[in-house]
Amino acid sequence: MADFSNKITLITGGGCGLGRLMALKMAARGSHIVLWDINDQGLNLVEKEIAGNGNKVNTYLCDVSDREMVYSTAEKVREEVGKVDILINNAGVVSGRPFLECTDNQLRRTMEVNALAHFWTVKAFLPDMISSNKGHIVTVASAGGIVGSAGLVDYSASKFAAFGFDEALRSELKKQRLNIQTTVVCPYFIKGEMFAGVKTRFSFLLPILDAANVAERIVNGIARKKRRVIMPPMVYSTWLVRLLPVDIYDWVVTLLGVNNAMDEFHGRQG
């Protein structure tokens, strides 16, 4: 088990769900955890869990869609905790409605949290990584950032953007010959409140994933400096299926149940 002692790990959306689980696992491996979230109650609960196990943790209320709040909170982290070694952009939202049923505010919020926020956090912490020529940036995207599906137009658009952000950033860092790692995470639907109600047609091919297992896979991926953490393996086939004519590609995706997965979705609001 990789040791993250003397590493400061910042996780956005760390007050619940996948962010909480990653925080607990990174803390158990010795990392000093910094959590950002808009949920004060959630932050307090996770802070108590981590501190109760004798591990280091700091929490900050921060709306990652607010650029100036990101920059000012990043400065507080720098002053009060130190230089961030591992940045995990995990915060995310989902509308889960057909495109025309989404309000303008929902569409904007999805893009701001799931995509634009990555710009602000990386701009805030990458300069310190460059100065020390070390660091790790983790982008939690989605299988929905590889395959678009009905009921997820805004979500898929934001996650395609996040996937592209990681890929281009990785290329840029390599071109500059910097020793800064990147990892993009693309899981299928995860059990929990965020995607409550989603269904899968063929669970042996596209299972609804267990959040604790996903968190463990991500942490192991960071430890092994993996460039991509994609799950389940069936998602990899997308790149091959895209070589087919579009109508056949669409038929395959529909056959697998992807376009009906959101039919009974109700999410946290449910």
- DSSP H helical segments within the chain, as ranges? 17-28, 40-52, 67-80, 104-111, 117-132, 153-175, 211-223, 238-241, 246-255
CA 210, CA 212: separation in Å to the nearest integer? 6
Asked if 155 is an active-site residue, the reply is yes
CA 89, CA 119: separation in Å to the nearest integer? 10
Cβ 9 vs Cβ 19: under 8 Å: no
The one catalytic residue among 60, 71, 155, 188: 155
Q: Which of 52, 40, 48 is nearest to 15 (CA)?
A: 40
CA distances (Å), 110 to each of 106, 114, 157, 159, 262, in order?
Answer: 6, 6, 9, 10, 17
Q: Which of 68, 70, 44 is nearest to 57 (CA)?
A: 44
- Angle of helix 117-132 relative to helix 67-80, nearest 10 degrees, comes to 30
Element (DSSP H or E) covering residue 137: strand 135-140
- State the catalytic residues: 155
